Amino acid sequence: MAGSAVPKHLLVWREDDVDPRQRLRVALRLHPACGDDTLLQAAMRIGAQPLAARRHLARAELAEHYGPAPGAMAGVTAFCAQHGLTVEGTALGGLIVTLAGQAGDFAAAFGVTLGRYTMGGLSLRAYDGALTLPAGLAPFVAAVLGVDEVSRLAATRSAAMEYSEPSSIEGNLPTTVAFDYYQYPRGATGAGTVVAFIESDLVVDLDDIQAFFTSLGLPEVSIVLELPQGPPTGDPEINGEATMDLKLVGAVAPGATLVGYTQGQSYGYSDDPWIDSLTAALANETYACSVMSISLGMPESNWPPQTAFTVHFLFAIAALLGVTVCIASGDFGAPGDPDGAYRQNCAFPASSSFCLACGGTELVLEQQGDARILINEVAWNEMEAPGQKRATGGGISTFFAVPDYQQDLILPAPFNPDQGPGRGLPDVASNAAIKSGYGLLPGGLGDYFGTSAAAPMWAGLAALLVELHAGQPVGFLTPLLYRLQLGGTACCTPIVEGNNGPPPGIDGPVMPEACYPTGAPWNACCGLGSPLGGNIAAALGLGTGTQAAPANRG
């Protein structure tokens, strides 16, 4: 089965066999009757349409427009009966089918031997080789997800939140950054918008989060934590990244409903945490999201291709449903996470062409009396040595071709030998630097940072746009932003100073070939640039007037 093999470089340390009696949930992704390409092309087309021309699907309409072919479920049912498996349910118009059974039966059904392997400090279920499908099932099944659990490598907490150094000006409030520096449209609160968060876990202190909103003079923000197995017990360590995501979006769009999904518990769709949590978020009709924020990821080279493409496919479904998906581009600069297999490792899922990939900048601030004045904005790069997690991620994808909306750009050449052209990322950027970090602690203290801050700041803007659109989704915005910005509408401030490469090796080799410069109209550090929120709203027909970048910005 093409794309089903686990990357070989992850299979070095085999621990033992998997207990054949272990119960598993495995998701099948079925091809829509119209074919994968037809659905993907429809999603890309809707992203290029003006908001007024868009007609997003309701979740209940997915089966009618993009359901699986006749005979697909009969084939799945017969396959399960033959191998001692059961069908537990379907989701997203029947394109996701959940099977349950014992590990030994799944291994026999798909022709692999399951083992436990040490990967990235975790013990994960995987297999060597590719899955096989019987001839009667192969025409219907695009991917088999949850036999391995390798994507858990991209569902772990970031260690970046533990690093801190004195800020150039400490404690920048998200409200100041959004409404003063980035000129988000005032008067909107995101009312009527549901923002979904995909998190490694949901160990957060809601009282602390609400106290932060109170300190900003905001009312209580509606937060829903989807925890199917209930809150964690004991005294677990608070998840700083999830806390930051909720605080940033809640501060910018306090009228929105914030709904958290955890990759640490099961929603019953698949043992693969990405497929499980994304399906749960997109299938939830009680809290039907129109915006999604994701601050997780790992190098493309570490993803089983079928898993990555299914996540990409789910983002295409999100586009059809009208969900704006904002994803952090990573914090390892141009080289990417050193755990990847290549010289330059783009982060997935940010490399999906159906998301808004969010890179990082540094705000250059100057204290003038009681005011903090933004005098410049540069690419975020605080690396002191190769491999440090302190610079905006970007580069050229090894997974995805150049999308339609980037065809008019001159994209830089990739650094990897023999790699061809690909989708460039990030698309946009926002404040991510330690030195201009966010003050999310009592009294406005702290320097929360990373492209993990950029994604929720753009998600907060998207929530405001939904309210301004009379509560209707704005959906897949990336192609429109490119068309507007490249056409001369100032939707973003281009970032033209800095780069995202490591310095000459302090603790590692010199890597001059793994460095992208800034520049207009797009660059592989900060994309199109940082947001001019009011201009974006006006260009989309959701407001009046135009805003230029402050005159004192570089």
User: Cβ distance 138 to 31 under 8 Å?
Assistant: no
Nearest to 481 by CA among 465, 502, 500: 465
3-class state of residue 486 by DSSP: helix
How crowded is residue 145: how many other Cβ atoms within 10 Å of its Cβ? 29
Catalytic (active site) residue 452:
yes
Which residue in 158, 397, 436, 452 is the catalytic one? 452
What is the residue type of 319? Answer: A
d(CA 499, CA 514) in angstroms, rounded, equals 10
DSSP letters, 8-53, are GGG-SEEEEEPPTT-EEEEEEEEPBTT-HHHHHHHHHHHHHS-GGG
Which DSSP string corresponds to 319-336? HHHT-EEEEE--SBTTT-
User: Within 10 A of 416 (CB to CB), how many other CB atoms are there?
Assistant: 20
Q: What are phi and psi of 537, to 5 degrees?
A: -60, -45
Vertex 287 angle, CA 285 and 288, to 5°: 60
Q: Which of the following is catalytic: 241, 382, 447, 467?
A: 241
Of the residues 105, 149, 226, 245, which is catalytic? Answer: 245
For the chain, how many helices (H) and strands (E)? 12, 21
Is residue 427 annotated as part of the catalytic site, yes or no?
no
d(CA 482, CA 295): 22
DSSP 514: S
Catalytic site residues? Answer: 241, 245, 452
